[in-house]
Structure 1
Amino acid sequence: MSGTSGSLLDAGAVIGCPHGGRVTAASSPSGGVRIAGAAVATAAHRYVVTGCPHTVNGVPTPCVTVHWTAGGTGITVDGAAVLLDTAAAECFTAAFVPQGPPVVQAAQRKVTVR
């Protein structure tokens, strides 16, 4: 495995869709690892988007979910890959149309795997 680095995402991470909607975990992490009281985000949790204003030709086509591809980091919590701000992800409409990657802000916890 080649080295992987990025900032570890937790329940307090500020994440948005590319159009300004807010991304939050739809399923609350149970147990697992916590950093300063916030649960570490993993690929096992579902993520939803609220407040996306995106339209196409005047028709609302908001982002509603985010799919993270966290494999390959080599870091797991309770058997699920942790999410880093460098992990590949895509926002989708209700019809599963890809809309672009989410925007992660202010991640502060650095992780490096060698």
Structure 2
Amino acid sequence: MQEGEEQEEELEEEQEQFAEAVADSDTQRSTGRGLLSTRSGTIVSAAATLTCPHGGRASATSGRPAAVRVDGLPVHTASDVFAVTGCPHLVDGVPHPCTTVRWTPQPGGVLVDGAAALLHTSAAQCFSAALVPQGPPVVATALRGVVCG
């Protein structure tokens, strides 16, 4: 078997293990494209739209390959680095935009390569460049989904 085929087979196996782990953690159904719903929250993939509380767009900037995908898109984990662009936040007329998002998922959840998978209910905070807390991010789901279980 060629190396590319072996990697693809390993990825498929990891995805199956992830799906089983999610099923074991009381998966109910998908509520949106790239999002699997569990009793404790919805797993966030790259299909979700993440914004700061002021409307700036948050996106993962990690360069690592995705170990697990939902609807073909990577599942976000606590080890991903999120940058915010386009935040219009002002304090006394001076720009103080959100620049990063930091997530603090609860322990005991689903792990992807040893890092906690992010849920829409995971604790998170947007920060300015000076590391001033600016409020929690907004996670918006996509419209389509599939039923699991």
Report the TM-score when normalising by structure 1: 0.87
> Could you give the per-residue CA deviations for residues 15-55 of structure 1, whole angstroms, max 9, x where no partner exists?
10000000100114413111111011001110010000000
Q: How does 1:4-83 map to 2 (within 5 A)?
A: 5-83=40-118
In 1, distance between residues paired with 2:116 and 2:81? 13
Q: CA deviation at 1:109?
A: 8.0
Q: Which residue of 2 aligns with 1:85?
A: 120
Identity of aligned residues (%): 54
In 1, distance between residues paired with 2:123 and 2:146? 18
Structure 1: gaps of 5 or more residues: none
In 1, distance between residues paired with 2:108 and 2:135? 22
In 1, distance between residues paired with 2:94 and 2:66? 41
Q: Which residue of 1 aligns with 2:131?
A: 96
Instruction: Mark the CA change 1:45 to 1:19 in structure 2 (over 3 Å): closer, same or farther.
Output: same
Q: Is the 8 A contact 1:7 1:109 kept in 2?
A: no
In 2, distance between residues paired with 1:44 and 1:28? 11
Instruction: Mark the CA change 1:33 to 1:71 in structure 2 (over 3 Å): closer, same or farther.
Output: same
In 2, distance between residues paired with 1:45 and 1:11? 11
Q: Is the 8 A contact 2:49 2:139 kept in 1?
A: yes
Q: Is the 8 A contact 2:77 2:112 kept in 1?
A: yes
Instruction: Mark the CA change 1:41 to 1:34 in structure 2 (over 3 Å): closer, same or farther.
Output: same
Q: Which has the larger radius of gyration?
A: 2
Q: Which residue of 1 aligns with 2:14?
A: none
Q: Which has the higher contact order (CA 8 A, sep 6+)?
A: 1
Moved beyond 4 Å, runs of 4+: 107-110
Give the aligned residue type for 1:103: V
In 1, distance between residues paired with 2:146 and 2:63? 20
Report the TM-score when normalising by structure 2: 0.67
Instruction: Mark the CA change 1:103 to 1:97 in structure 2 (over 3 Å): closer, same or farther.
Output: same
Question: Which structure's residues are more often strand, by fraction?
Answer: 1
Question: Which structure's residues are more often helix, by fraction?
Answer: 2
Instruction: Mark the CA change 1:48 to 1:35 in structure 2 (over 3 Å): closer, same or farther.
Output: same
